[in-house]
Homo-oligomer: A and B are copies of this chain.
Amino acid sequence: MTFGDPPGNLWAAMRDVWIAGADMTRVGRLAEPLQDLMAVAAHAALRSADRERPDSIVVATMNPEEFLGDGNFASNVATHMGFANVPVIRVETATSSGAAAFYAGFAQIASGLAHTVLVVGGEKMTHLPTPKVSELIGRSLDPYERSYGTTMPAFAALVTRALMARHGVGERELAQVAVKNHANGARNPLAHFREEITLEMVLGSRMVADPLRLYHCCPISDGAAAIVLTAERATVRVAGIGQGTDALALRHRESLTSFRATQAAASAAFAMAGFGPERIDVAEIHDAFTPFELISLEDVGLFPPGKSAAATLDGETSLEGRLPINPSGGLKARGHPLAATGLAQIVECVWQLTGCVPRRQVQCSVALAQSIGGPGTNNWVTILESRPGMRSHAAPISGHPRSKPASRTPLQLIEHLPASRCPECRLVAAPPTRWCPRHPVEMTPTSVMGGGEVVSFTTLLSPPAGFRSPLHIALVDLVGGARLVCHGDKTQGLRIGSWVAIEAVGNVYYFSHLGT
């Protein structure tokens, strides 16, 4: 059973869930830290929703532990964006984490646990070498199949070769998906790739995992996207949402050329919506590899089995065609910042439904987003419907990210330490933070005197790698108001209330005891 088949008539009394705002950053090789990208997307989505603060936040990231070395990421990013006191959870289902987080937020509103939920997803990978990124993404696969060196491209290639044998899908059909999606990406100012390509370029690109070539595969991208969900009526309603799953191992699947997980998700989403695929005007489809778009179009029910390839070659899925697919450029051209992707698809659907994407606008009132998690093991279908006559809050501004992160001044060996001050609550932070740790207000640069009073301290006898034992760490309240963490040579004689001088050596603060 999936969510499409609840026992009894559970949905009858479920609260409607609406989309009050949506926004995203540019996708590509971005220099900003992930926390900044997610904060920019989140604040832009809140502005577009005309909301200052959500009741609850759901964060999607696939693997910040290994991409960035940061854990507890829900708290990390909520604090960074100024929402340290808003309840936050992180949801993860591999490459569909953004869609899964959207669903978790949907459940909070539908149950009445929350009234306004911010869902924000992002990933940053381009700072790592490609083989490392491939290895980390490949851990989504069955561990045993992975032990053979199977990566995501290898998985996709195994599926593709079977697809090409069974349905007569040829090289031109596979290549046309890329050509079409690059043509759409060229009209999207936020896309990773904004150049059109030709069939010949796809067919001449280097082989990655036979029969898949470079231009059949989506890029490695950074980016973030955010949605504001609400229980109040707005322009766009979530009409249906469905999840489907499948066995982790490819070798245990019933079919190689369709994904049971997408079929189950679509069936559940249409059951909740109360209508069928014939109502869909535009769709964002998970084309991490071009054959996945062809497979997904049939799995979702937008084309009959075996018909999506010819329809693609005939232009039915182009921007001007009968059923435009991936107007954003899809994963192939807009890019695939993992946990941002499921939300970026929904952002595009919201923008299409509210008529604010001029060069790629599709006439539509119902849109569908489909997301694939890992090797097709945890897939989602989300159906959105516009309600004409409602005022639209969703108005994207091109040229994201809209503001640059504050520059990070290196600390110097001086008695004044760089800091930042909240213009509202007066909290002082050293080193400076961009947003106030207590609420989402941009901090003002300032400096503080390098002296203060010990609030607490410890001597750590089993310090982590790279530190000598014993390691002396103190918390100090500076005269200027900031609370600092710092190192010292010794804590002997130190007490809470002791006065210490602080100096910065490079990036590191040190205290020295001045007596109590």
**Measured between alpha carbons, how far is A431 from B142 in the docked complex, in Å?**
12
Which listed residue (B65, B75, B135, B458) contacts A63, Cβ 8 A?
Answer: B65
Which listed residue (B56, B69, B70, B460) contacts A157, Cβ 8 A?
Answer: B460
From DSSP, what is the main secondary structure of chain A's interface residues? mixed
When distances are taken between beta carbons in the complex, the residues of chain B under 8 Å from A438 are 247, 252
**Measured between alpha carbons, how far is A12 from B422 in the docked complex, in Å?**
38
Nearest 3 A-B pairs (CB), nearest first? A111-B111, A72-B140, A71-B139
Count of chain copies: 2
Per-residue contact bits, chain A 435-476, to B (CB 8 Å; 1 contact, 0 not):
001100000000000000001111111111111000101010
A243 touches B87 (CB 8 A): yes
Interface presence of A297 (CB below 8 A): no
Given contacts A90-B91, A131-B462, 5 further A-B contacts (CB under 8 A): A75-B248, A78-B245, A108-B111, A158-B473, A251-B485
Q: Which of A95-149 contact B (CB under 8 A)?
A: 100, 103-104, 106-108, 110-115, 131, 134-145, 147-149
Interface presence of A414 (CB below 8 A): no
A-B contact pairs, 19 of them (CB 8 A): A2-B55, A3-B56, A6-B114, A72-B139, A72-B140, A72-B374, A74-B94, A75-B94, A75-B248, A75-B374, A84-B245, A84-B252, A85-B245, A85-B260, A110-B111, A150-B485, A158-B456, A209-B459, A252-B437
**Measured between alpha carbons, how far is A147 from B103 in the docked complex, in Å?**
36
Per-residue contact bits, chain A 235-271, to B (CB 8 Å; 1 contact, 0 not):
0000000011111111110001000100010000000
A473 touches B245 (CB 8 A): no
When distances are taken between beta carbons in the complex, the residues of chain B under 8 Å from A103 are 89
When distances are taken between beta carbons in the complex, the residues of chain B under 8 Å from A463 are 149, 151, 154
